[in-house]
Amino acid sequence: MYSFADRLTPETYHALARAVYAEMALAGITAVGEFHYVHHAPGGTPYADPNAMGEALIAAAAEAGIRITLLDTAYLSSGFGQPPNAHQLRFSDGSAEAWAERCSVLKERDHARIGAAIHSVRAVPADQLATVARWAEERRAPLHVHLSEQTAENEACLEVHGCTPTQLLALHGVLGPRTTGVHNTHLTAEDISLIGGSGTGTCMCPTTERDLADGIGPAVALQNEGSPLSLGSDSHAVIDLLEEARAMELNERLRTRTRGHWTAAALLRAASADGHAALGWDDAGTLEPGARADFATIALDSVRTAGPLPRLGAETAVFAASAADVSHTVVGGRHVVRDGVHTLVPDVPKALADAVEALRG
């Protein structure tokens, strides 16, 4: 990962993001929450425009025809009490105050909103967590944080601070209804109560969590305590929200050896309306007057989806279909994908291949 990140420039970042966002549109995704922390040139020197990398992502989303919430990420240390390593220098602004100053220059657009992210409790010193939370609170912006993704993070936090990552975030005012914990995998009963009781959201990323062998988070318990569930891809191991929705249910079945934790409708809501809300787009994700005209259609005549009755379309989508079955994607009334073909990026596989090859050098 670092070898690729070291080679990124605003131009190659833009090309890669444009291709990935076009792939997301092909999968029926209409808005991306970009956990953006490659801010500066290698070595940490700011570009002439200190937000050149973020602007590249905003432009890429526009060209791919989807909306973006740029979750500009504070990333200040390589671990508890450790400075950034040589590769991470381009991620760091030096302090949360400097991060906030740079972020404050970013402007929202019709297709773009600006949010904040704390990479993790190991990457932002405890005494600077409140600065990031305050920046988001003052702007009523979404705030995301990778939370308890791995047991090693929990163990290190307990050793340094004497509390879990969730407890540390609560102590510094990070939790709340506009905050989303990404993963929320290794939690204590108290952690679950703190997250749910504060209305903090949970973004499950099942394909990434299994790809990295991180574990299965307590999604049912979190939801029962009041944490809204949404779905994401995080590492982009797979770009398929239908697979993420299916995986959340199937993971819970494996863990509990019981079936039927969520209906297909509830899983689709986590992949749509609740995902949009977690990114600050409260007016998207539902088909109703006054909402943005965002929707995707799924073919019910592929080898994966043929057979079930049309009235079981939601169940077919979640438990049988894949991103390959998305035939149309409409974003804000604009037909971005038609009959499985992107209308703005004509050859998405080639765009992806060219962007990756450029980073290989």
Could you count the other beta carbons within 10 Å of the beta carbon of residue 72?
Answer: 28
Residue 328 a catalytic site member: no
Instruction: Give the DSSP letter of residue 134.
Output: H
- Specify the pairing of strand 326-331 against strand 334-338: antiparallel
- Of 234, 240, 274, 325, which is the active-site residue? 234
The CA distances from residue 309 to 173, 234, 239, 320, in Å, are 49, 33, 27, 13
* Cα angle value 202/277/19 (rounded, 5°): 90
Q: Are 165 and 153 spatial neighbours (Cβ–Cβ below 8 Å)?
A: yes
Max alpha carbon distance in the chain (Å)? 58
Q: Are 75 and 123 spatial neighbours (Cβ–Cβ below 8 Å)?
A: yes
Report the C-alpha gap between 179 and 177 in whole angstroms. Answer: 6
Residue 342 a catalytic site member: no
Nearest to 70 by CA among 88, 51, 89, 84: 51
Edge-to-edge strands, sheet with 201-204: 31-36, 67-74, 112-118, 143-147, 179-183, 201-204, 229-231
Q: Where are the alpha helices (DSSP H) in the chain?
A: 2-7, 10-26, 52-64, 96-103, 126-139, 151-161, 165-171, 189-197, 206-211, 219-224, 241-256, 264-271, 273-278, 313-319, 348-360
Nearest to 275 by CA among 237, 312, 314, 242: 242
- Of 14, 40, 172, 183, which is the active-site residue? 183
Phi, psi of 34 (to 5 degrees): -95, 110
Instruction: Give the DSSP letter of residue 88.
Output: G
Active site residues per annotation: 183, 234
